[in-house]
């Protein structure tokens, strides 16, 4: 019965933007790139996928709180955690909260989860940190930012890592910000930001932590440090006298600065390679800084393999052009927008929450046929109102048929449209992470939560199919 992190998961969008394309140069194989949430992805969908991986094999009915940390949720007023909980099909009585406003929100949510579990008011808290920040096209920040998500389950038992100490400092400084109504993040002169903001604060938090637990940097097997860029990362590491082996690679030029998810994704990387007894130091920054000390337990060796950062990183495809990237992020609205925007009825949204967000279908009690969506009369035996609701999102489906649609507005047509069967239920479903030439009748797919389109200024979420990854898979998709 050890209290701590019981499981983890992560998500890195499959599409990578070669940084050369930003400057109008051709992309080179192996050149620097960043992960970008594509047009059907955002902080919510990435968090849901990381959450799915984190909860794999665990009983979702036991999750009693969801904390969602991000600076890039689509709504100013309306909660993301409740939407995420619905997509993850968590119990109705789940406690939900959003943590926002600072890149530190990811570790803050993690600390809040530990507080709740330690206090005994919750037994299993799912913590999600996810960001898809935008920088003005052509600005220096654009090449720096990347997108991704991390997830942790903090539990009162079965810990793979315990939290041994924590230390935080709050600070007011106008270094990096995004104001109301502005889609883009801005920053003050970077020398000021690093010299007066990041470097002194992160070292202050780490030194406070070391004092709190009576240890030295040398006691830690891994240092998972947030940094705004590669150079600051190196500076902070030098000041802390950390060795290269101790540092979790910050992944600039591969993943990019994932904002709120940065430090949490670093922690996932550290946990992926940790041995029992390994100490891990995590530090994050934003309007202050905070540091956490973890130690891996014996249980870490028994955790079923998770899809973490290392799993996702090699599964990539390069965006075809900078223009496609601009379209995917709606930075090129003139070419991208579809005619009228009808705006979807909120009451329909409401009625279909189970179908659309939780991907729940139903099983006929009379003939056992499974169908989607919920409907009154059985598709197979015509029995009426005699169904059991069943979750389909964690099952495997197969393609019944497909087409490649070149007219659906998307940055890089075609859209692969399928009829997918899952345990008998037929769903009209888009397929992602697959090339047309690999699209075959019978292809097994898993379900991924995506932003399917936008209407009336609001995002609409639904699921898509994605080929079941094979063990031999990590090549370009």
- 234 and 286 Cβ atoms separated by less than 8 Å: no
Cα–Cα dist 134/180, whole Å: 14
Number of residues counted as binding other proteins (CB under 8 A): 46
Any contact of residue 124 with other proteins (CB under 8 A)?
no
User: Could you tell me the smallest distance in angstroms from the CB atom of residue 12 to other proteins?
Assistant: 25
Alpha helices in 383-437 (DSSP H): none
User: Could you tell me the smallest distance in angstroms from the CB atom of residue 75 to other proteins?
Assistant: 16
Any contact of residue 372 with other proteins (CB under 8 A)?
yes
- Which has the closest alpha carbon to 53: 8, 107, 106, 4? 8
Site for other proteins in 299-338 (CB under 8 A): 338
> Of 311 and 449, which CB lies nearer to other proteins in the complex structure?
449
Among residues 394, 417, 474, 477, the one that binds other proteins under rule CB under 8 A? 417
Query: What SS3 class is residue 235?
Result: helix
Of 7-15, 35-43, 297-305, 451-459, the window that binds other proteins (rule: CB under 8 A) is 451-459
Residue 453, classified by CB atoms within 10 Å of its CB into exposed (0-12), middle (13-18) or buried (19+), is middle
> Of 177 and 408, which CB lies nearer to other proteins in the complex structure?
408
Any contact of residue 425 with other proteins (CB under 8 A)?
yes
Among residues 302, 441, 468, 473, the one that binds other proteins under rule CB under 8 A? 441
Other Cβ atoms less than 10 A from the Cβ of 171: the count is: 16
Order across the sheet with 148-155: list the strands. Answer: 95-99, 65-69, 124-131, 148-155, 4-11, 161-170, 288-296, 279-285, 222-225
Among residues 115, 323, 352, 354, the one that binds other proteins under rule CB under 8 A? 352
Any contact of residue 404 with other proteins (CB under 8 A)?
yes
Any contact of residue 421 with other proteins (CB under 8 A)?
yes
Any contact of residue 415 with other proteins (CB under 8 A)?
yes
Of 43-51, 128-136, 147-155, 370-378, the window that binds other proteins (rule: CB under 8 A) is 370-378
Which two structure tokens, joined as six digits, stand for 469? 């990854």
Angle between helices 80-87 and 43-55 (to 10 degrees): 50
Any contact of residue 272 with other proteins (CB under 8 A)?
no
Q: 55 to each of 10, 91, 389, how far by Cα in Å?
A: 11, 14, 20
How many helices (DSSP H) and strands (DSSP E) are in the chain?
A: 13, 22
> Of 214 and 342, which CB lies nearer to other proteins in the complex structure?
342
Q: Read out DSSP for 329-346?
A: TTS-HHHH--S------H
Among residues 123, 215, 315, 349, the one that binds other proteins under rule CB under 8 A? 349
> Of 191 and 350, which CB lies nearer to other proteins in the complex structure?
350
Any contact of residue 253 with other proteins (CB under 8 A)?
no
Binding mask 383-402 vs other proteins (x if CB under 8 A, - otherwise)?
A: -----------------xxx
Any contact of residue 200 with other proteins (CB under 8 A)?
no
Among residues 79, 460, 469, 474, the one that binds other proteins under rule CB under 8 A? 460
Q: Give first-to-last CA distance, the chain, whole Å.
A: 42
- 281 and 220 Cβ atoms separated by less than 8 Å: yes
Which residues form the interface with other proteins (CB under 8 A)?
338-339, 342, 344, 348-349, 352, 355-356, 369, 371-373, 379-380, 400-409, 414-415, 417, 419, 421, 424-430, 436, 441, 452-453, 455, 460-463
């Amino acid at each position: 019965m050890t209290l701590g992190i019981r499981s983890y998961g992560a998500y890195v969008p499959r599409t990578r933007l070669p940084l050369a394309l930003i400057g109008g140069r051709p992309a080179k194989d192996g050149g620097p790139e960043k992960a970008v949430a594509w047009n059907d992805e955002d902080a919510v969908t990435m968090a849901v996928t990381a959450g799915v991986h984190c909860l794999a094999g665990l009983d979702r009915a036991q999750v009693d709180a969801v904390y969602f940390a991000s600076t890039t949720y689509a709504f100013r007023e309306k909660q993301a955690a409740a939407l995420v909980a619905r997509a993850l099909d968590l119990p109705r009585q789940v406690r939900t909260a959003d943590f926002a406003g600072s890149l530190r929100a990811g570790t803050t949510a993690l600390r809040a989860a530990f507080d709740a579990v330690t206090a005994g008011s919750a037994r299993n808290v799912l913590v999600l940190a996810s960001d898809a920040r935008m920088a003005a096209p052509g600005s220096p920040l654009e090449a720096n930012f990347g997108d991704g998500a991390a997830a942790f389950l903090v539990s009162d038992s079965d810990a793979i890592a315990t939290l041994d100490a924590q230390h935080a400092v709050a600070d007011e400084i106008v270094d990096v910000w995004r104001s109301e109504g502005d889609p883009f993040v801005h920053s003050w002169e970077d020398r000021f930001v690093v010299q007066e903001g990041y470097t002194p604060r992160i070292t202050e938090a780490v030194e406070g932590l070391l004092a709190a637990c009576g240890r030295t940097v040398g006691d830690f097997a891994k240092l998972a440090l947030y940094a705004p860029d590669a150079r600051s990362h190196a500076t902070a590491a030098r000041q802390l006298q950390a060795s290269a082996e101790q540092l979790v690679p910050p992944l600039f030029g591969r993943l990019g600065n994932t904002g709120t998810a940065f430090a949490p994704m670093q922690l996932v990387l550290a946990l992926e390679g940790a041995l029992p007894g390994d100490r891990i130091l995590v530090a994050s920054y934003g309007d202050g800084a905070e540091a956490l000390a973890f130690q891996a337990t014996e249980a870490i060796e028994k955790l079923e393999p998770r899809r973490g950062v290392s799993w996702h990183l090699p599964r990539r495809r390069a965006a075809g052009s900078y223009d496609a990237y601009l379209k995917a992020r709606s930075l090129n609205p003139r070419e991208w927008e579809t005619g009228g925007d009808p705006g979807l009825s909120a009451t329909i949204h409401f009625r279909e929450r189970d179908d659309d967000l939780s991907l729940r279908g139903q099983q006929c009690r009379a003939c056992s046929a499974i169908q989607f969506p919920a409907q009154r009369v059985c598709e197979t035996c015509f029995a009426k109102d005699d169904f059991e609701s069943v979750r389909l999102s964690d099952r495997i489906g197969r393609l019944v048929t497909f087409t490649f649609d070149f007219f659906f507005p998307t940055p890089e047509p075609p859209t692969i449209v399928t009829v997918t069967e899952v345990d008998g239920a037929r769903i009209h479903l888009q397929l992602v992470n697959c090339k047309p030439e690999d699209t075959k009748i019978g292809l097994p797919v898993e379900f991924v939560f995506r932003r399917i389109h936008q209407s009336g200024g609001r995002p609409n979420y639904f699921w898509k199919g994605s080929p079941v990854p094979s063990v031999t898979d990590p090549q370009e998709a």
